[in-house]
Structure 1
Amino acid sequence: MAPTTLAPALDKAHTRLDDIATKLGAIVHTIDVLSDGLKAPFLEPMTLTMRFILSGVQSIRSNKAECIALLETVHQILCAVVAVNVTPQNANPRPWTLSSLLRWGILLSTVTTVALQKVSSLLETQRETSRIKRFFKQTEAATMLKACQDDLQRILNALKVRFAGLVHTIREVETDFASAHEKVLDLVQAGADSESYTTGAFSASSGSRASLLSVMPANPQIFHGRDAELTHIIDILTGNINPALVILGPGGMGKTSLAHAALHHAEVQAKYPPECCIYARCDAAITAEDILVNVAKSLGLEPGRNLRPAISSYLASRPPHLLVLDNLETVWEPSDTRGEVESILAFFAGLTNLALLVTMRGAERPAEVAWTRPFLPPLEPLHLGAARQTLFDIADELNLAEPDVATILALTDNIPLAITLVAHLVESEGTADVLSRWEAQKTTMLSDGFDRHANLDVSIALSLESPRLRADPAACKLLQILSVLPDGLAERDLTTALPLDNPLGGRSTLLRISLAYHTPAKRLTLLVPIREYIRKYEAPPIDLIRPISRQYTILLELFDRSFGIAPIGNLRDLASTNFANFQSLLAYRLDLPEPDDLAETAQLAIMASRYRRREGWENAFLAGTMARLSSMLRRHPGHELLEVALVGELLWNQYRSSDPDLLDHAISLFPRFDDLKVKCDLYGAASYHAMVCHGQLSLAESWLDKSLAISVPETRPRADALRRRARLYIQRGNFVKAAELAETAQRFFRQSGDLFGEASALLATAEAFYGLGAYADAAEAAKQGRTLVSMYDFAGTHLDSVLLNLLGEIHRSKSEYREAKAAYDEALRLVAPDRTKSGTSLYYIQLNLVEIEMALNGPDHPAVQARLDSVYDIARGMSLKLVLLMCEATEGMLRLYQGVSADGTSKLRRCFVQGEAEVKSFCAEHLANPALRGGDEWAYIFLAHLSSGAGAFQQKVALLRALQFIGQSMLIDGDRAAAKNLLLVALEGFKARGIHRGIAECCVALAEISETAGHAQKALELLDEAGRRFARSGLKKQVENVRRWTARVDGRFDIAIRS
């Protein structure tokens, strides 16, 4: 007959909770019968957890409807556990299917127990006795209950998919539970009367709770990146008489796969053939004795009270055996079984005819065993190449764009299990859907399987069940804190910024159980999947993370105050290594149901944005965060200065607000505070936004004029406004006025002690001189700026890279190609290609280097085309249309120099039609060069283009080039007099600016005119000048051509003299 439970007390009204408690109590009893009758201990943790849940059901005081719905789903899953066993095709399995069924039962129990433990913890929170606490936690608890129910529903759905007909059987169990209970009793009795349940690892007569399977596992088919570890294991197993080796590492790192690969390796099988291998899964073992029982049964021995002598005696008369104990941490972790497990390990390691290979989570080897040296280090994530190959072996490489591969692997932190699971999703769903789901579901999307090898959440949850973790409150709290710190924690922050009693002890615990690890920079951090899991299921309370958040704000405020007036190298390094932490904390604090301390959060956001800008980055995440904060602060008056500062940072970050009144609203707040610096900064940001985002030069100038009007003379805000105004004059081509304002700004910055500001003003000065063609002055200003940058630890900042880029441009314009290449190469080393402000300019540097390397090494040098191809590939991948157009124009120029005139001319003409002013100037200049044969008319088109005012920057130098080309064309046509006049004008201009190549080319053309006119001495003087200028440019081929020409002219000159 079906079991019953105690009737509710007579003085208490019957409730729905009573009904569900009754149903759950009955089915738990039935599962107990299954567990005892089938000797299936994997069901025991499930029933133990359910009894704990039932003990507190009547104490639930809030969210009762949600709790009842959750318990109903639990009831359905437990019905499914019963239904799996009473379904006809499973009730009497054949011998060859029994092992698979029992193995699946272990997995089902594991995942269900993990889920039930979450349910238990969650229901415990609904028993609060304080009405106030229940009231404030009601909404949060309802959300968590719903999420937990969703998890249970996924388990139930997966069960229905796995077992055909299960839906109908579950319904039968629910509607006629008494009948289902009788079927269970019949099943247990049938098992006791037959031999069908004595095969494999289970025995009805043994009384053992061992559920370990000793079937030889398959060789992993997808296995990359563990060659060194596999070689280490093979050397240990084959090079020692009775080796003992342990494979350690975090969950999902591939420990089991590595053990499987070692078992199947030819050298291992030569020493330990399959019949001499004992493979024991320990993940369902409950006592240490279960390990001995399983090994004994694998050897064909009868279980008994003292198995050690029997095992020892059996192996003594046999060939060498290899024993693999997989997932030993399950039974070794609990302190009450650890000593006995280590004693058993010592027994196995002491057998002279047995090799021992153990896999277990963590970074700590069990004691009492003389493990064979050298030790195998704990497994780490796969290197990038192996991670990519694992992904490609499962998902089709042809369907994966390169940027998507990097994004997908970043989600996995190169953990083999995570890569495998996400690769299968990519193969079935596509990259876009998987990335979209990750944003919403995180590790849950990789958790549809039932065991640690197919379910990432289960794998992580098992690690979190470590008794050592649960016994260490500091470790639990530290784990929560690390879940919102993707950059991890430095040693000093660990000991000074956390509200923990024993942070160093907590760190030690996390390292020993491999939940945390040290980066090469010695920062304590979590792998991405673990971090996301903790953040989703065990997110830290605000009191845990507020101290570290405040410490980061203090760090950024100190950086902001010191910037420009004191060395900031250490502060800069600290900010850089924690920047992802800043972003994560901001997101966490804003996503709280009731955002915590808006002013404190806003200050962190503003300081983080200022730091990021000074490093040369815009940041879309920070912009979105500050937009949310700005909206929130508008609803909470009293923080007007912070609100204006936030709007300013939004504009600096090129944020395009949907609120047209955002800037006007910020300006309307000016009367409520007195900080002129914040007000001037807003006007500067408005000017920048108007110019960069909308191309409105006049509006940009008007905003800076407002800043100049309110700023105090000879102060940093006034200097900054002058410097920015100078940059706008450069945009208008008024280089004289720009130089005047930039030099004034430089003086004000120097008086204020702001060396960074002075360096930025020197940049504006250098740009103005460059526009005037005063290259020597421009180079001197740029070098002074770099000197200041290096003095105060600003090297490598955006300003440093821009100064270097400008120096490269100056040298290139003077055709000092070796110096230009050196400057450009250093700029490329300084700045990452994804830095927003510098990203596009980096591609132009690469294209300039194509031109420089072509000049130095010749157009056919392989490095020239290779560099151009690399820029092409990146530009295509990122859809950078302007860069692609410049790539095509550069390729057209290259083809002209290679002598492929038709192709080069076609490309340059097409780009001239499609391009903006600068692209048009580039194309016209190279088409106009008579030496490249782009067409006679292009010299005049180039001149007309320049005369129209297009491309005003560097217009004077371009005009000199146009005059040179027209002169050369006239020389070709035979009009030597006109050609000489134009070439002399161009030569004078090139000499004034020190443009070596231009000087040399004009001298060559004039030498031809002189030689033709019979003035050999003049021709030789011109050729001598040309040779020296070509040599200064590094143009070896041209130097050799001039040398040969000089020899020819000199020879004729000698003949003429002798005559």
Structure 2
Amino acid sequence: MGASSNIDQLIQYTALAAKTTRGIADASNVPFFEVASALATAILTIVQSVKSHKEQCTMMVEQIHETLCTIIQLYSTYESDGALPPALLYDIARFVETLQKVYGFVKSQQGLGKIKQLLKHGENVVQLKACQEGLRDSYDRLKIHAVGAAANQMAEIHSDAHKQHEELLALLASHPEITRSDHSSSVAGTVTSLGASFESLAILPASPQIFHGRESELEEILGALMQDSARIAILGTGGMGKTSLATAALQHPDVVAKFTKRFFVPCHSTPTHSDLVSNIASYLGVAVGPNLARKVVRHLSYGPLTLLVLDNFETPWEASSSRAGVEEFLSLLTDIPQITMRGAERPDRVKWTRPFLQPLRPLDDDAALKTFLDIADDNLEERTVRELLDLTGGLPLAVNLIANVVSYEGCDTTLERWKTERTRVLSDGYDKKSSLDISIMLSFTGTRMTHDAQALLSILSLLPDGLADAELLQSHLPIPNVLAAKATLLRTALAYVGQNHRLLVLVPVREHVRAAHPPPAEHKLLLRRYLHELMYLWRQFRVLPSAEIVAQLAANLGNINVMFADGLQEDPPDIIATLKSIVVLSGFTRVYTSTPSPLMPLAQAQLARFPDDPVCGTYFIDRFFASWNNRIPDPDAQIAQANRYFERARDEEKAKWYNALAAYYSTQGNNLDESVRYRRMVLSLTGPSDDLTKSRQQAMTGLANAMCSLGKQAEGRIRAQEAQQLAEMLGDVLAQAQAISSEARCCLSLGAFQDAARLCFGARDLLRVCGLAGTDVELRLKNFLAEIHLLKTEFPEARAMHAELAHTRMGTSAVFDQLNLALVDTLLGAAPAAVRQNLDVARHQFATAVGSPQGVLLCDAVGACLMLREGDAPGACALFEALFAKMRS
């Protein structure tokens, strides 16, 4: 489009592109699309009234239109894969960051007179240049993706706005499904621990189509389930059919009629107690946060009659390090009407229904034959079939695998191969396990198996979470037709598709293949690189709405733990990348499971080998920033070690370290003066880089909060306003809203409730216009509004907002919400028992998971208020005096 093009037409074209982007976001939940659409729409609204820099603004709108059209075309190409690749999402997120800068720039031009334009000329030039370069860079990067996609099916990218508009209309006409609300392309299926709506997680596995020889056990289970509060453990060795029996019971008409809700929760990728609790919470739709185990119990206890099946429960229970915690959690479930568990051994501390269900035994000859003939051809010689079945030992999984082999290769060939394999492996004699091993070997080496299918099964043997189709395609494994390989594994019964639409392998098969046919190092390296990309994507853009990325990471947590642990062995070429990813992973698990990554101790041991690598700086910065919810056991020694590293670092890295130290001293370090000193050290660093400017903006916001806590609210307000100006210049909407919330806090502390409320509402409007509603920053603003209600003695309104926040937020914020509810309930005259229950939960979390002595003191203060309300003035006075003494010490 040339200079003479009509600006109104260009805005119309761009509005359609933005609307289409929003339609895709609504239909498919693609990360960053909703924010991009909101920002583009907001920019168009403002541009129409801007009088200065009109030509430059028009050119930027044209670039936005081109980029949005490119993104839409890329989506239409990739959506059949199930998701956009991480590298493409990264560049889309970069584009969103640039749109924030453009929005900040055009908004700053509204209503500027000529004098103000002159005064801001230098600043405008810098901002305008950053916007133009950012848009150009985003378009160039996305065009590279488009060129790559063009090799498959994407049309040529045109630079003419009218042609692009026509192509967009044609695309929407030929692919109306890309903005249809019933269309979805979530890579993770719907797996995560966000506590939102995860209905497809609750999809139950179908009742087994082939089910023989377990009629008596099924009747016994059904009889027990018809009783009140039955707790059943289905025991047996691997491949004995425990899951099939549990599924048959779960789908039986009598069970369906009795239980309002039924859940089937796979536990094969939950090696620890906290993983198990988070996994169950995800399936139940319980929001992740503090005291999650009790939330799960409460959810089940107060809900309708529910049947909960924990499949592969032996995975978290058999590990000695987690057994005690797992058994304690099971004991908490004793108030819940029904639980079944399948495994190899019955855990203690649970009152299991008697008589106990006996461990499953192999199928009898008749049941084994019926199972075999349901899979293989009926027209087979019975003698040969019987001989084969005798060799399987009646293990259902072995019968299933051998029948699948026979259906393709015939009985005689399969029997001959069995004898050959048995001679090779059975040096210690024939037993049940070896029959299963041989069955798996015959399937693995069968004529139906291709080299690609074997390679895929080898990599899947490491992955307890399996892989979604998009992950199969995007991990760039050297398997030419990976979806054909998947089909082969499904046909041979070596793999199956779980209820979350991921390709999974049964535990006995995984264990055998991992030992006998481990994947080559190259395949593991490629898969780890894909997981590194996902971790980096979350780390770089975690402040943007990215629930889908969180969902995919949550769906792969078991895989990530296995692959990153493997990445620390034998010095692979990506060990530094793995260490960086583990640092990021620890931050992820702290937020979404309230625990640090179990891999962190392994990573710390390896970090000592690379004392001069930037990964050490990344570790120290993350560790001290996270001290607010993950206490540092030896802070002085770690600070000394980190200072030695940062002596040689660039100013940009030093600034991040000083901000991390300031965060530490404002929480765990409990020394605000020291925190202020480090914030000022950041401000003393000068330089033109964006990284350093962002650190200075963060330091100003932190300094504003510190000044407010020190009783210097006026100075804090000035610092907060400076932080807002810097954030606006950077085009960082979230940082700007955060700085506004700091100013609101200062106003609140000064008693300027009207100013505080005005600032909060203004910041929330800013976030909503830019598609950033629901972010942590907006929730913090909502918390300030609740505080304003509280201080104005508008207690019902304050309680309603705190209750809503308690159900929305997680981690330390959720603990404070629990404390605030206790305080408001005290003031509203709620029952003492209810207040104390909230206080006990908050106090326990502050003392353990959060590690906040100040939080414990606040709980005691609310407890003293409750005592005073209940007429125990001497007790309240004594507690207040003790609190003052602790605060002074």
Greater RCO structure (CA 8 Å; 6+ sep): 2
Q: Give the TM-score normalised by structure 2.
A: 0.49
**Larger gyration radius, structure 1 or structure 2:** 1
